[in-house]
């Protein structure tokens, strides 16, 4: 008798496991989305239509033997999973690969690719027509998005507000922060993109805020 496995979630972890098991066992992959979403490309997709079109990979054709159920799992137990649509999928093994969630635009909050592309296009249009952009949060997502925006539109003024004194607060290595600081210092050119990070406390005088620039000289393409 062939072993059956139901995998909840078709993100990076879920699709890798589904493909690896496809030849050997009966695989059912469950995800409410119609496509695998390459989330790592989400921020650049906001500034580039070409990237947006390349960050969604339909699940059709992912598996040879196994199948993909487009639905959300609402209950799992040792014998399988139940979906929001009421489908019961029995299995010998249940794998939870439902990942993490971030607010849009870091991750998509819609399940349909066409809808996600439309949403990104609207945001891109809003960014394109803005002369100033305010980003709240100088963590990896805020800094990456500031980089993407100023790389494509160097004349835009991008301001990052953060309650912390330092950019990239949290459990990051001192080496990474040093490197980032060097990049920020190098880019502090009045003619270049101007990114700033300061406290979100409006009572603080603006001159006390630290102003930081980003280096876009090594754009990944
Ligand atoms: C902007 C951004 C940039 C990033 N850059 C990097 C990077 O450069 N390098 C790096 O290593 N990581 C990066 N990450 C982190 C990376 O995206 C995550 O670590 C990765 O997505 C986790 O993969 P996963 O398979 O665990 O889950 P996810 O990719 O989150 O996939 C989870 C899947 O489960 C589905 N799901 C959720 N709930 C259910 C349910 N109840 N039923 C069925 N399906 C469900 C979702 O629809 C989704 O498809 C970045 C993240 C963001 C947001």
| pLDDT at site 196 | 56
Looking at the structure, tell me whether residues 112 and 147 fall in a common domain.
no
pTM of the complete model: 0.84
* Range from 30-34, 129-133, 151-155, 188-192 that averages highest in pLDDT: 30-34
Write the CB contacts of 147 (distance below 8 Å, at least 6 apart in sequence): 214, 216
Look at residues 87, 116, 145 and tell me which one is the last residue of a structural domain.
116
Does residue 215 lie within any of the structural domains?
Answer: no
Looking at the structure, tell me whether residues 69 and 104 fall in a common domain.
yes
State the CATH number of the domain containing residue 54. Answer: 3.50.50.60
Based on the number of CB atoms within 10 Å of its own CB, is 121 exposed (0-12), middle (13-18) or buried (19 or more)? middle
Which residue's CA is minimally distant from atom 14 of ligand 1?
Answer: 40
Q: What's the rounded mean pLDDT across residues 141-165? A: 85
Asked whether residue 33 carries a pLDDT value surpassing 70, the answer given is yes
Does residue 221 lie within any of the structural domains?
Answer: no
Does residue 106 lie within any of the structural domains?
Answer: yes
Task: Determine if ligand 1 sits within 6 Å of the CB of residue 141.
Answer: yes
Task: Determine if ligand 1 sits within 6 Å of the CB of residue 122.
Answer: no
- Answer with the residue of higher pLDDT: 92 or 165: 92
Looking at the structure, tell me whether residues 108 and 54 fall in a common domain.
yes
Q: What's the rounded mean pLDDT across residues 58-75? A: 97
- Ligand 1 closest atom vs CA 144: 1
Look at residues 58, 90, 116 and tell me which one is the last residue of a structural domain.
116
- Looking at the chain, the whole-number percentage of residues with pLDDT higher than 90 is 59
Cα of 192 from ligand 1 centre, angstroms: 34
Cα of 104 from ligand 1 centre, angstroms: 13
Which of the 8 DSSP states describes residue 208?
A: G
Tally of domains in the chain: 2
Calpha distance 88→220 (Å, rounded)? 44
Looking at the structure, tell me whether residues 27 and 106 fall in a common domain.
yes
Does residue 200 lie within any of the structural domains?
Answer: yes
Copy the structure tokens of residue 63: 């598996």
Domain that holds residue 203: 130-208
Look at residues 51, 81, 116 and tell me which one is the last residue of a structural domain.
116
Calpha distance 212→165 (Å, rounded)? 12
Asked whether residue 180 carries a pLDDT value surpassing 90, the answer given is no
Task: Determine if ligand 1 sits within 6 Å of the CB of residue 72.
Answer: yes
């Amino acid at each position: 008798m062939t072993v059956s496995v139901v995998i909840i979630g078709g993100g990076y972890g879920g699709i890798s496991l589904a493909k690896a098991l496809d030849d050997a066992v009966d695989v059912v992959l469950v995800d409410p989305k119609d496509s695998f979403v390459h989330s790592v490309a989400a921020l650049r997709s906001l500034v580039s239509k070409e990237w947006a079109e390349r960050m969604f990979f339909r699940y059709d054709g992912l598996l040879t033997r196994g199948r993909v159920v487009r639905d959300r799992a609402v209950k799992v137990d040792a014998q399988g999973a139940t979906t929001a649509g009421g489908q019961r999928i029995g299995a010998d093994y249940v794998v939870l690969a439902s990942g993490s969630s971030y607010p849009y635009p870091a991750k998509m909050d819609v399940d349909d690719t066409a809808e996600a592309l439309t949403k990104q296009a609207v945001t891109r249009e809003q960014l394109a027509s803005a002369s100033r952009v305010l980003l709240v949060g100088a963590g990896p997502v805020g800094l990456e998005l500031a980089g993407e925006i100023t790389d494509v539109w160097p004349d835009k003024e991008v301001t990052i507000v953060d309650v912390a004194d330092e950019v990239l607060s949290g459990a990051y290595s001192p080496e990474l922060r040093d490197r980032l600081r060097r990049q920020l210092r190098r880019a502090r050119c009045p003619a270049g993109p101007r990114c700033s990070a300061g406290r979100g406390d409006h009572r603080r005088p603006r001159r006390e805020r630290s102003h930081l620039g980003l280096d876009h000289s090594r754009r990944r393409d």
